[in-house]
Structure 1
Amino acid sequence: MTYETVSVEKNGRLATLTLNRPQSMNAMNALMMKEIAEALEWLHEEKDVQVLLIKGEGRAFSAGGDIKAMLDPESPMDIDTVMGDVSRLAKALYTLPMVTIASVHGAAAGLGLSLVLGCDVVIAEENSKLAMNFIGIGLIPDGAGHFFLKERVGIPKAKQLIWSGKVLNGHEALSLGLIDEVTAEGRAYEQAELSAAKFLSAPLKAMIASKQILHTQHVHELERVLALESSSQSAMRRTKDHLEGIQAFVEKRKPSFKGV
């Protein structure tokens, strides 16, 4: 499969999905969201693949949604189409019949963090910057961010992370149970490859069967969360706080929110 914003490589039972908009720190525009969803859905049909490694090209895993694209008057985002692709992405990731490993360096923010948290194993460098920071532009987490956060840290801590938008380094994220392993700077992908190799030498068929048993019982909950995120995000995009948030971001100033 050939894409513009991502790449997928297969090497036997291992596949690697690379986010590939390095000039934008892998910020996700509408095309990238669509292509990630398509790539993950395509991988469902690759029955020989048992481990998937997800990483970002360049200086970061992903800076999240492309805020500048949200403001582009010549090519405005169709929020309903975008949310449909984001929901496809999250469901395809959660239901993949393979072990998924996220290799995080630099920023993993917003939708980028949702993608990371949807993986079975998360390995991040100590200087990584992980943040569920939708709140900074008056939005809510999407890409099943609510669902994946709750699975990782529980409801009370999920609310705190969503409401604060706090940026966490690798050690802070590990202490909260948000990720599974911390490495030195520049070593996350190397460690992710070692982790993949260990899985590939294990009885993976049995491990994937256990994953499917544990995940299948929550698919309906995931679908409900995605539907609520989609409707709520569409509503948030129309608020004055959201407009203020993205304008403040572009103007590099602190936003002045009014709760409307």
Structure 2
Amino acid sequence: MAYETIKVDIADRRATLTFNRPKIANAMNLLMMQELADCFEFLKDNPEVQILVIKGEGKIFSAGGDIKMMMTSGDPVDFEIIMGYITRMVLALYQLPMVTVAQIQGAAAGLGFSLALGCDVIVVEENSKLAMNFIGIGLVPDGGGHFFMKERVGITKAKQLIWQGNIMEPKEALDLGLIDQIVEKGEMEATVDQIVGKFLASPILAVLETKAILHAQKLPELKKVLEMEAAAQSRMRKTDDHLEGIKAFIEKRTQQFKGK
């Protein structure tokens, strides 16, 4: 399949999906969300692929949702379309019958971090930055961010991290259990290749059966979370705090939230 905003390479039971908007930090616009949903659904039905690596072109994994899109998608219909694509891509990612590896270099923020947290294995370069930073623009996490954070660190810590919206160093994220491995600068490709090789040399059909069993139990919960995130995001986008958050981001100044 041909895509404009992502690249997909498949060979020897491995697929590599690359976010391909490097000039704008691989931020996700409507087309990219649609292509990711289409790609994950295509891979879901491809029995030849047993492991998927997700990475970003250039120096950054993904800065999350495209702020310009947020500024111009005030139409409720547009917002429904956006959330529909997010729901499709997260559900397809979670149900992929393959091991998924997030290869994070540079930064993973917002929706980009949600998708990374949806992967089975998360490998992060030592100088990267990680942020579930929706709160900074008066929004709640989407892309299943609530679900994946809770699965990784528990409800209490997930709440605290989401409310703080801090930029995290990889060591902090590793200590919390949000990520699985830190690699030195320049060692990422070799490390991920080793991880892929170990999985492909293992009895991977048994590995994938375990994933299917565990994920099947949680799938109804994820669907409900995605539904609730979409409803909450719709409400938050109508608040003065969200408008202030966007304006402050564009103007590079501190937000002045008023709880309205």
In structure 1, how many angstroms separate the alpha carbons of the residues matched to 2:227 and 2:174? Answer: 29
1:220 equivalent to 2:205? Answer no
Name the aligned partner's letter for residue 237 of structure 2: R
Aligned position for 2:14: 14
In structure 1, how many angstroms separate the alpha carbons of the residues matched to 2:20 and 2:181? Answer: 24
In structure 1, how many angstroms separate the alpha carbons of the residues matched to 2:75 and 2:2? Answer: 23
In structure 2, how many angstroms separate the alpha carbons of the residues matched to 1:81 and 1:89? Answer: 12
Aligned position for 2:204: 204
In structure 1, how many angstroms separate the alpha carbons of the residues matched to 2:236 and 2:190? Answer: 39
Identity percentage of aligned residues: 57
1:55, 1:189 within 8 Å by CA — same for their partners in 2?
Answer: no
In structure 1, how many angstroms separate the alpha carbons of the residues matched to 2:208 and 2:74? Answer: 45
Write the deviation string for residues 102-143 of structure 1: whole angstroms up to 9, x where unpaired: 000111000000000000000001111110000000000000
1:160 equivalent to 2:160? Answer yes
Structure 1 stretches (4+) deviating beyond 4 angstroms? Answer: 73-77
Aligned position for 1:24: 24
In structure 2, how many angstroms separate the alpha carbons of the residues matched to 1:72 and 1:187? Answer: 39
Q: C-alpha displacement at 1:169, in angstroms?
A: 1.3
In structure 2, how many angstroms separate the alpha carbons of the residues matched to 1:14 and 1:247? Answer: 42
Aligned position for 1:64: 64
Q: C-alpha displacement at 1:217, in angstroms?
A: 0.5
Write the deviation string for residues 181-238 of structure 1: whole angstroms up to 9, x where unpaired: 0001232233112101110100000000000000001100000000000111111111
Q: Root-mean-square deviation (CA), in Å?
A: 1.5
2:73, 2:79 within 8 Å by CA — same for their partners in 1?
Answer: no
- Which ranges in structure 1 are unaligned for 5 or more consecutive residues? none
In structure 1, how many angstroms separate the alpha carbons of the residues matched to 2:18 and 2:73? Answer: 29
1:68, 1:250 within 8 Å by CA — same for their partners in 2?
Answer: no
Aligned position for 2:101: 101
In structure 2, how many angstroms separate the alpha carbons of the residues matched to 1:218 and 1:147? Answer: 10
- Please give the TM-score of this superposition, normalised by the length of structure 1: 0.97
Q: C-alpha displacement at 1:30, in angstroms?
A: 1.0
SS at match of 2:168: coil
- Which ranges in structure 2 are unaligned for 5 or more consecutive residues? none
SS at match of 2:35: helix
